[in-house]
Structure 1
Amino acid sequence: MPRATVARISTEALRHNYRKAVAMAGGARAMAVIKADGYGHGIQTVARALREDASKFAVACIEEALAIRGAGVTAPVVLLQGPHSPEDVATSADQDFELVIHSEHQLRWLEESVRVPALWIKVNTGMNRLGFAPADIAGVMELLGNAELASRVTGFVTHFACADDANSDNTARQTACFLDAVDPWPDLSRSLGNSAAHFLEGQPLFDWTRPGIMLYGGSPMIGQLGPELGLQPVMTLEAELTSVRTLKPGESVGYGASWTATGETPMGIVAVGYGDGYPRHAGTDTPAWVNGRRIRLIGRVSMDMLAVDLTEAPDAKPGDKVELWGRNVSVDEVAQHAGTIGYELLTGVTVRVPRVHE
């Protein structure tokens, strides 16, 4: 019989969050970002769940786009990293994938291709990862025009570096830089807004937004949890208590004896650990939930198990289900205790944890 450690996926919560993104986007449309295996939720499940709502999806690479087609979903898919080889251009033309073009070598592949799919041109407005410099956009468009590819250009895209910080003026600077760079082509679409941009008061969102983490209930904003933003958690990571005992004063638990009981402490062992994707650095005082009560972790997280203090849930017993994150404990809160972000926790749940779709 398998362990009771599972990740429960609520497709209704997913749809709620997507619809919230659409409502917050105002006049813009929202392409659902479902890269990284749907942020750990299962890319095919996510694509099927949103197929009636989302008119366009976005992923990082062609393998992810093909997985969407494998799910029977036919909506256009934007490849945010564009083609990784000349073959990707032809495949994209066949499959109705749209390519984000950000580099000169990708432009050469387009010139050499018999058929070219819809294109987006990426403008580097300060993130400094991918994209053409604003001063180079005119040259890029001229090259595409000379290669008779201009008709395939759908629009322009950029990515914000600091939209998660409502106090930063960097997003406004990037927006102004972008608008100046693309001003000569007012009829082409513009896509700037990531999840965080939906929550920035007064931030223009133009034609297409790209909600990602907010679809899964995680917060894109510094200092705020997903539920505080009106988002519903899509994944509930759940495991069971496998052992319950009482620690005596002076007894420690786990590797390194990093936590020691100062008084009699009811303790439970939960069948989940960093081998399942639960963060090793989430230590003592990280919250969990059992039998309607909030409890806390104690000691270090092991590969296959962790310890919890059951003082607040004295009736808990082996077999009881423990929520590590989900409806009662935000994944963002766990991430804060682990010194990371909810994105990493959701995408890091390993394959040995079954996804149960509800």
Structure 2
Amino acid sequence: MRQSYASIDLSALMQNLRLLKGAAPHSDSLAVVKADAYGNGAVEIAKHIAPEVNMLAVAMLDEAIPLREAGINLPILVLQGPHQASELSATDAYNLHWMIHNKHQLEWLEQHQASKQNAIDNLGARLWLKFDTGMHRLGFDIDDFDTVLHNHRHLTNSSTVIATHLACADEQDRTHTDQQISRFLQGVKNAGMRLSVANSAGALAHASAQQDINRIGIALYGSSPFDTSHSTFGVNDSIGLKAVMTLTAKIIGLRTIPKGDTVGYGGTWTASKPSTIATVAIGYADGYPRHAPNGTPAICRGQRIKLVGRVSMDMLTFDVSELDDVALYDEVELWGKQLPINEIARFVGTIGYELMTRISARVPRRYTTK
């Protein structure tokens, strides 16, 4: 039995979903479940939210197939589109929608449609076209919108979705986001197709990004898409997002060390007084960040404790000198309901997305509805 686990609160998940839908009541909701639902378990998450979302999204075909094999019937959008022409044969078999972002993918679609035995049923309704408005990662240039549609009009219909991706929707300065939205809406003017602009931050903080379909990701899992060290557009943790993942591990060792002794590989922390050190059964092989510095917080018995010494492959060490009656097998919360994941991310110099998605498969997921 593992002494560490990730508790996944499905009630919190649904609360977050309803909050996000309420923030944009006139938009359909696409739930992003790529990267195993940001580490929360794509199959379980998808099953639970299926009645209340219009669509799911994954990054690549390999992430879509397990959802279908688990009996999930919602339409699935593949965000990176096909990586090779042969993947298009999965379109009908797995009821897939494709985000098309380059000319090679369009050529593959043309070739696929030209073969009657391989023709994709109602392709236009399964097609998303991505246009670059300033992210400069994937997509046709928005200035080429008319040309792309004119050259491939026979592939599209009124159900085809035109999309872009916002680069700075989580920033306080709205300038870049406003420019992206303006370029997009001007570029697709009178296209007569469905539009998708908003990610989590866009859906919460930019009304003009709330078009026909919002693609909601990190906020669904209870992590604010904003830097919660300050108020962003007046939107921060007070919007009511609830942590879905709580990462917990138990104390498996306790010892008292004298003043002047060091802890862990390299002796990077030195006790300034006699100190009680708790060894906790989780480490970087489980996905806890190896570069977490001394002082990174955790919660034990409702009180904050501090990481001391280097993160090991399977263990962490914390100074628990200030706790009363600390005992072997007490639980330590690394992040979750009592300790926001974004706070840990700031200590580590990363973002909550990375921490959540890197929790390894050897950490059991326990699903609750309390």
TM-score norm. by structure 2 comes to 0.92
User: Which residue of 2 is the match for residue 7 of structure 1?
Assistant: 6
Among residues 257, 260, 269, which one is paired with 1:250 in the alignment? 260
User: Which residue of 2 is the match for residue 137 of structure 1?
Assistant: 145
Contact 2:5 2:363 in 1 (8 A): yes
Flag structure 2 segments of 5+ consecutive residues without an equivalent: 114-118, 231-235
Q: Deviations over 1:171-200 (max 9, x none)?
A: 000001101111130x21110000111232
User: Which residue of 2 is the match for residue 318 of structure 1?
Assistant: 328
TM-score norm. by structure 1 comes to 0.95
Shift, 1:95, TM fit: 2.3
User: Which residue of 1 is the match for residue 233 of structure 2?
Assistant: none
Secondary structure, aligned partner of 1:113: helix
Secondary structure, aligned partner of 1:151: coil
Distance 1:315 1:227 in 2: 32
Flag structure 1 segments of 5+ consecutive residues without an equivalent: none
CA RMSD of aligned residues (A): 1.5
Contact 1:61 1:81 in 2 (8 A): yes
Distance 1:111 1:144 in 2: 9
Q: Deviations over 1:97-142 (max 9, x none)?
A: 1111100000101111132331111010011110001121111111
Contact 2:251 2:278 in 1 (8 A): yes
Q: Does 1:123 find its partner at 2:157?
A: no
Q: 1:317 to 1:346 in 2, by over 3 A?
A: same
User: Which residue of 1 is the match for residue 216 of structure 2?
Assistant: 211
The one-letter code matched in structure 2 to 1:190 is L
Q: Does 1:112 find its partner at 2:111?
A: yes
User: Which residue of 1 is the match for residue 188 of structure 2?
Assistant: 182
Q: 1:71 to 1:227 in 2, by over 3 A?
A: farther
The one-letter code matched in structure 1 to 2:179 is R
Shift, 1:202, TM fit: 4.2
Distance 1:209 1:285 in 2: 38
Q: Deviations over 1:8-42 (max 9, x none)?
A: 11111111111111111231111000000110111
Shift, 1:93, TM fit: 2.9
User: Which residue of 2 is the match for residue 344 of structure 1?
Assistant: 354
Secondary structure, aligned partner of 2:157: helix
Q: Does 1:162 find its partner at 2:168?
A: yes
Q: Deviations over 1:269-300 (max 9, x none)?
A: 10111011001111211111111212111121
Contact 2:308 2:319 in 1 (8 A): yes
Aligned residues: 354
Q: Does 1:91 find its partner at 2:86?
A: no
Contact 2:275 2:319 in 1 (8 A): yes
Distance 1:90 1:20 in 2: 37
Distance 1:312 1:218 in 2: 29
Contact 1:294 1:312 in 2 (8 A): no
